[in-house]
Amino acid sequence: MNNKTKLTGTNTKYNITVLQADVAYFDARLTLIRPKPKTNLEVAQKKVFQLLEKVFSKHLEIIMQRKKDYVKSIKAQRKK
């Protein structure tokens, strides 16, 4: 989704749900690896899942903020 994409209720809801599920998956995988990875594969997986969790969480935060802004602008338009 690029910066110019207009948010719609259905599209936004789907994106939020998918991102939340992905973040939960990464968190679950990290929980299985923590506190200390035992193999090189687990070390690599931990790094990848930490990065993915961070990136997807940031995207989720951005989409949720855009949704709030969109709803706020719709409410402002209705008051006019």
Positions of the chain with pLDDT lower than 70, given as ranges:
1-13
Q: Which domain holds residue 37?
A: 9-79
| pLDDT, position 3 | 45
Q: Tell me, yes or no, whether 4 lies in a domain.
A: no
Q: Tell me, yes or no, whether 31 lies in a domain.
A: yes
| pLDDT, position 1 | 43
Structure-block tokens of residue 23: 């973040």
Q: Tell me, yes or no, whether 2 lies in a domain.
A: no
Number of domains in the chain: 1
pTM: 0.70
Q: Tell me, yes or no, whether 22 lies in a domain.
A: yes
Which residues are CB-contacts of 34 (< 8 A; sequence separation ≥ 6)? 46
| pLDDT, position 56 | 93
Q: Tell me, yes or no, whether 3 lies in a domain.
A: no
Per DSSP, 4 falls in state: T
